[in-house]
Amino acid sequence: RADLDAAIKINPRFEQAYINRGNLNTIQNNFNEAIKDYSAAISINPEHPIVYSNRGALYHQIGKLDQALADYNAALSIDPKLETALFNKNLISNPL
């Protein structure tokens, strides 16, 4: 984590560092921090569908379904065949 923090401090527009730190925060169940990291990555590159899908999954996990659905839709507007976004969107739209 310290290496990612240092990389971001050196270059605050280093998208991949935010994505990697978001992934690490997700693994460590720091969902709010991961959401912040993915949001930072999206602000740098709003055309990265997997980051929207990842953030959507976190919103889904914490029960913010409207925000999750918006992120899944954003991911699918960039890549209509992104399977994780399609699957997770379906879970919200058609609950079991």
pLDDT reported for residue 40: 98
- CB neighbour list of residue 85: distance below 8 Å, 6 or more residues apart: 49, 52, 53, 56, 72, 75, 76, 79
Task: Using pLDDT thresholds of 50, 70 and 90, give the confidence band for residue 90.
Answer: very high
Task: Using pLDDT thresholds of 50, 70 and 90, give the confidence band for residue 95.
Answer: confident
pLDDT of 9-54, one tens digit each?
999 999 999 999 999 999 999 999 999 999 999 999 999 999 999 9
Q: How many CB atoms lie within 10 A of CB 24?
A: 15
Q: Are 63 and 43 in contact (CB under 8 A)?
A: no
Tell me what the pLDDT averaged over the chain comes to: 96
pLDDT reported for residue 19: 98
Please state, for a pLDDT cut of 70, what percent of the chain lies above it. 99
Task: Report the predicted TM-score, pTM, of the whole model to 2 decimal places.
Answer: 0.94
Which residue reads 């991911």 in tokens?
75
- Count of residues for the chain? 96
Q: Indicate the helix (H) or strand (E) that contains 71.
A: helix 65-78
